[in-house]
Each structure stands twice: as C-alpha cells, then as structure tokens.
Amino acid sequence: MTFILFAGRPAIAQTGNDLLGAPDGMNEPYRPQIHFTPRAHWMNDPNGLVYYKGVYHLFFQYYPGGSNWGPMHWGHATSKDLVHWKHEPVALYPDTLGYIFSGSAVVDKENTSGFGSGGRVPLVAIFTQHDTAREHARRVDVENQSIAYSLDEGKTWTKYAGNPVIKNPGVRDFRDPKVMWYAPTRRWILTLAAQDRIMFFSSPDLKSWKKESDFGVGLGAHGGVWECPDLFAMPVKGFSAKSDSVWVLFVSIGWGGPNGGNGTQYFTGKFDGHTFTENDTAVKWVDHGRDDYAGVTWSNTGNRRIFFGWMVNGAYAGVVPTEVWRSGNTLPRELGIDKVGGRYFLVTKPVKELSILEEGWKSFKDNVKVEAPFELQLLTGSVGSFRVVLSNNAGERAVVGFDKGAGQWYVDRSGSGKVDFHKEFAGRHVASRIGLSKTLSLTLVADVASLELFADDGLTVMSELVFPSKPYDKIEVVSEDGVVMKTLKVTKLKGIW
C-alpha cells in the first residue's frame, strides 16, 4: 500500500546568510520555524528552566562571540505559551570564578535564601563556574557551584557575594546542578554530575549545602562522563495514590548514547530526601535519536513536567551547516510515566500548546499540499513493517518507520541531503520497541531541518536533524506487509517567528 502526498512549499533561498528581508531575521536556510533557536551565535544546553508569573524562562549555554563553543554565558528567552519565544538580553556573564556552565533556577517562594526584599520573591539560579585558569594549570578543582538571584522576574541577576557555594572536593568533572524543593524535609535538593556518579546535596537556604549521598557507580551507561542530571517525582498513569509516584533521575552522558555520540539515560526508583534507589537496572533512554542532549525539565510548573533538550549531538554540533546560529532546542515535551511489562517507562509527547500552530489538517486521500513544518499522525490496524518516506526532487530522502522483524523503530537519514559535514552524521538509527499494544501509533513532527518521532504514544522517541538541499515535497507511506492505516493525517503548522 502506498500513499503519496505532494507538498507545495516553494524552495527556500539557499545562498548566503540572508538576515535582511526576513521577518525578524529568522528564516535563513535550515532555520527551524517551530523550534527555539538563538537569533545568532552558539547555543548548547538549556539552563535555568523556570516558570514564574505566567512566563516560561529559558536560559541556555551561550557564546555571544561566535557560532562555535566559547566562553560560556547564560543566554535568555521567554515565552508565555512554550511555543512563541522572545529573545532577551544575556542574563549571566563569566567572572573571575570562571565561565557560567549549566545549571537550574527555582522560585524561592518562602525567601529561604533571604535574597527577597520588599515582598519581592527571589528567583535563584544555581550554576557551575568553570575556571579556565585552573584548567590550564592542570588543577583538579576547576568546577565549583555558584548562585545568583533576580528580584525583577528574571530580567537582571545579582551574583551572591559568598560564591562558590559548593567547593570542588577534588573531582575534575563536577557540574550542572539541578535544584528542587523537597517538602518532607523542608530542604532544597541539589543533584550534581560528578564524573562517573551523581552526588546529592541538601540545603535549607540555597547557600549552605550538605552532601547527602552518591548514586550510580557501576549502574547505567558509562560510555562518557556524566552531565546535566535532573530529579523529579512523577505520578504513574492511571494511579492516583501517593505511593504510586515514581522518582525519575535523568543523566546525560558525553559519549556512548543509544545510537552513538552523546545521549540522555534515565533511572526510575525512589528518593527519600537523602538517597536515590533504582528499581530497574536496565539502561533506559529519554530519546533514542542522535539529536537530543542535556535535556532537563522546568521547575514550578505544578502537576506538569515539561522537558526541553538541546537538539543536536555534541559529536558534530560545531560543524552543522548553519553559520549564523548553531543549535536549537527540541520541541517542549510533556513527560509522564507508564508501566509496561511490569517496568516503568517515560512517556513523552509534544506539549498540547503546540496545537496553537495548527492550520487545519487533511487526510491523505485528499491528496493535499502540505508544507514543512507539519505534523503527521498515523495509527495502524496491526503490528507490521511500514515506513514514511519524505523526499524531494533532488533525490534526497529521509525515512522513518517500523521494522517488524527487528522489532525496531528507526530513522534513516543516510541520503537525507547534506550529510558530509561530519562522518558520524549519516546513518540509520534504531530503537527497540517498548510498547506492547497490537497497533502502532506514530506522531512525526517535521520542521525545516529536523524530525521528531513519538512512537507508541510516546514510549519511544527519536529526534534527528536533517539538512535537505531543498524542502522535502513528497510524503509516501509504504507497507509491504499490507499494514492498514486506521488514521493517517497531516497537520500544517504555522511558523513561530
């Protein structure tokens, strides 16, 4: 069975970095149209994700001096709906203690820090300072943790005079603090990546920290140094009792991801304010694609758990063919937990706010024209092999599908367009199926230069960049197994800029 859909998007200009004439300067070749990117220059990890007074704050690793990694600042952007973003001035600059590496931010509602004044609630940012002078002197105590606060809803920040608040104990990689409030002990809990393990610290006031425990030596994937952790509790789908909440610990690893390069694993288990105990020793991945790293979740979002990842792989982030800016984020995604075969798995979906961008949908039989960005939704009547092929008349194609024999979802971008900028970019990437249902569901969100696959209602996620020389203008859904498509629809999405 083959469905063919032709798209009518006019070819985008492929010459130069045309910042002029573009609304807001945000439509150069390969510029994502439904994803956050900085207007210009280098970005990596999302930092300081915090929701306050109706505004989602995104801070991010940023080098305002060029389109490659350099002295790290915290860039800043804000959004009222997680979808449309406003670029804000740089929030944190390097100082004598070092570059501003990754970290988090919290709303200190009870003013435990004492930074609040005149009834103004402090936002407190907790981040790593990376001291290059010590690095060059080959010292081990290069990375220390510092804090800063804002009394004007994130616009301006004051660094704490007593920085650093956690001094390096003699561990070369000692970074990326993620802080949460743990109500039962009335303590802030700080989760830190320390080379080959996670360290937990606690504090009554965000300034004085006590080491609680270590986690992870000999557990999970250790292909590279551990980075950018996150810790949070999640209710299990379908249960409401308190005992059915599961603790989730994210750990990004610099090398040894599920399809090579870096990747983010997660552990499920229990946390009691002092130690984390896992309930599953198998390695589980937040995203099986090549392009989702250092992702963490927003603080202060009530019952929602919303995730943002850095959508590229560190292996080639510095050479992707975008020169004005480098890297964007994944779609904002809402996380849940589901129990499959007696084990807990993350369930990940694009946030519901994405529907703001919908411009109406068509079923395939209408043979409509569609333009990227778009979302394709599909539900099969049985479990069998099928593929979605996106192609253009330059002979470039990206393939997303399910291989029944192997029991795997996959994205094949071998011939997807520009792939030769790095030897690791081209390839077919796979993810073993987690879902057990008798049908297959797929949501594929395609932007100008990315594909995000949410399979089996979000049990398997794959994020992959693609750089077609002209937009894909044809979508085919093919199944040699004769799989029946119960639902097959494409929804056009408006750009956000």
Contacting positions for ligand FRU (CB under 6 A): 44-45, 61, 72, 101-102, 128, 175-176, 227-228, 294
Using the CB atoms, write b or e for 448-462: b if 16+ within 10 Å.
Answer: bbbbbbbbbbbbbbb
CB of 143 to ligand FRU, least distance (A): 8
Place of tokens 């203008």: 473
Q: What angle do CA 262, 264, 266 make, to 5 degrees?
A: 150
Strand partners, 146: 127
Structure tokens at 295: 């992702």
Tally Cβ neighbours within 10 Å of residue 136: 9
Alpha-carbon dihedral 179, 180, 183, 184, rounded to 10 degrees = -70
Q: What angle do CA 351, 352, 353 make, to 5 degrees?
A: 90
CB of 72 to ligand FRU, least distance (A): 5
- Residues 6+ positions from 321 with CB-CB distance below 8 Å: 30, 418, 421, 467
Whether 45 is catalytic: yes
Please choose, from the candidates 202, 263, 262, 210, the residue with its C-alpha nearest in 3D space to the C-alpha of residue 231: 202
33 vs 102, which CB is nearer to ligand FRU?
A: 102
CB of 250 to ligand FRU, least distance (A): 13
d(CA 148, CA 158): 5
228 vs 442, which CB is nearer to ligand FRU?
A: 228
Q: Which of 45, 287, 412, 456 is catalytic?
A: 45
Distance of CA 93 to the CA centre of its chain: 23
Strand partners, 78: 57, 86
CB of 103 to ligand FRU, least distance (A): 8
Contact 243, 252 (CB under 8 A): no
Distance of CA 378 to the CA centre of its chain: 24
CB of 378 to ligand FRU, least distance (A): 33
d(CA 2, CA 480): 9
Strand partners, 231: 249
65 vs 482, which CB is nearer to ligand FRU?
A: 65
Q: Name the 3-class secondary structure at 136.
A: helix
How many residues belong to the chain?
497
101 vs 410, which CB is nearer to ligand FRU?
A: 101
CB of 356 to ligand FRU, least distance (A): 30
CB of 163 to ligand FRU, least distance (A): 16
CB of 99 to ligand FRU, least distance (A): 8
Contact 223, 283 (CB under 8 A): no
Q: Name the 3-class secondary structure at 301.
A: coil
Phi, psi dihedral angles at 318 (to 5 degrees): -80, -5
194 vs 383, which CB is nearer to ligand FRU?
A: 194
Structure tokens at 192: 């830190």
d(CA 106, CA 370): 41
Tally Cβ neighbours within 10 Å of residue 193: 28
226 vs 467, which CB is nearer to ligand FRU?
A: 226
Q: Which positions are catalytic?
A: 45
